Amino acid sequence: MSSNTNAFHNALTQLSRATAVKPFSEELLTLLSVPEREIKVSIPVTMDDGSLRVFEGYRVQYSSVRGPYKGGIRYHEQADADEVRALAFWMTMKTAVANIPMGGGKGGITVDPKKLSKGELERLSRGWVKALYPVLGPRADVPAPDVNTTPEIMGWMADEYEKLTGDKTGAAFTGKPIERGGSEGRAMATGLGGYYAFEAMQKYVRLPEAPRVIIQGMGNVGGHAAQIFHEHGAVIVGMSDSKGGILCDTGLNPAEVERYKQSHGSLAGFPGARPVTNAELLAAPADVLVPAALENQITEHNAHDIHAAVVLELANGPTTPEADDLLLARGIRVIPDILANAGGVIVSTFEWEQNLQGEHWSEARVYEKLQHMMQSEARNLWTRAEELGTDLRRAAFIIALERLESALAARIT
C-alpha cells in the first residue's frame, strides 16, 4: 500500500473512530465513504523546446452537502488520485468544523514544478482549467492554492476560467493576487489561524505564556507560523525544511533563518544552531510541536519519541491514527488539522464572498473575522471533547458529522 493510499485509509479510520464515540446515520456514513465525483485528466503541454509532454491532473469532489466543493490544487511529483481523495475528504470535515458554507474537494497535478520554466508552468496551469472548467465555478467548485501553487498560478487559472466561461466575478478561484480580486490576509491565513486556535486552547492545556515551539516545514504555512509565534513571544527552538533542520535552545529568529535559507539554499551551517534531521527535530523537547510539512510525519514508529506537550497540526494528515493513540496515552494533546489549519479555507471563503459581492475587505477586517471564527470553534471543540470524554480529533470529527447530518436532513426535506 502506497503512503498516499495510506492517507485515505487513515482518513476513513479517523471517521470510524469518531463514530465509535457517537453513532450517526447509516445514510450519512455511506455517502462519506466515497467521493461524489473523481476526475482524472490528461494535460498536454508544449514545452519550451517544442516537445509535447502530457501531465496527469486530478480533481476529487468529495461532498457538496454543505455547499460548493472547496479545496486546493497541489503540484507535486508524488501527487496521485489516492492522496487527492484523502485531502478532499479532510476538506469536507474541515469546512464543517470551521462552520463555513462549503463542501470538500481537492485537486492536483503530478509534476515537480521546480523543473518547469515559468512559461511551461503557466501553460500547465491553464491546461488544468481547460480540462476541468465544465465542473468548476463559483456555485459548483472553488479551487484554491495548496502545495507548490501560488497566487500567480491562481491568477492564471482565474483568467483562463474567465476566458472560457465569460464569468467576471473572479469567484471561481481563491488565493489570487490582490490585484486580481484576492483577499487581504490570504498568505498569512493558515499560519495565523493555527495560532488563533492554539491561543484559544493555551489556557486549557496549561502551557507557559512564552512556549517553546518547534516547527517542521518552512513553506508558506510553516514559515508564517514561525514568524507569528515569534512575534507573540514564543521561543522558536527548532525549524526545518525538506532537507533537514536546526535546533537552538536559546531561540531562533525566523526572519533570520529564512534569509539564511534563501542565500545558502539550506539551513546547514546556520550560526549558533546545531543541525538535525527531520526525525531528530520531531523528537526534540518543546512545549509545542507544529508539523507543517506533508502527511504521515508522526506514526506508530516515532510517536514514542515525541516530547512536546501539544502537537498543533498545520499540515494535512501529519499524524496517523495509531500515533494518535500513542500520543493520547502519554497525555500529549493533538490540536487536529481539520481545525488547526482551517484558517486558509476560511479566508478563501472570505475571498469568494468578497468576489460575489463586489467588495474588498481590509486586512484588519479579515483578521478580526478569522480570529473570531477560529477561537470560537476552538473553544467549542475543547468543550465538546470534554463532554464526550474523548480526544480533540474525535470531537472535531463529531462536530463535523453533526453539521453534515443536519445539512443532509435539510436538503432531503
Catalytic residues: 106
**Tell me, what amino acid is at 38?**
E
C-alpha cell at 348: 478563501
Residues paired with 143 in a beta bridge: 71
Contact yes or no for 124/341 (Cβ under 8 A): no
Beta-carbon contacts of 293 under 8 Å, excluding residues fewer than 6 positions away, are 216, 217, 219, 222, 240, 242, 278, 315, 318
Across 46-83, b (16+ Cβ under 10 Å) vs e yields eeeeeeeeebebbbbbbbbbbbbbbbbbbbbeebbbbb
Distance CA 221, CA 190 (A): 6
Closest CA to 374 of 185, 197, 221: 197
How many angstroms separate the Cα of 226 from the Cα of each of 31, 90, 194, 288, 314? 38, 24, 11, 12, 11
Residue from 204, 86, 61, 201 nearest 142 by CA:
61
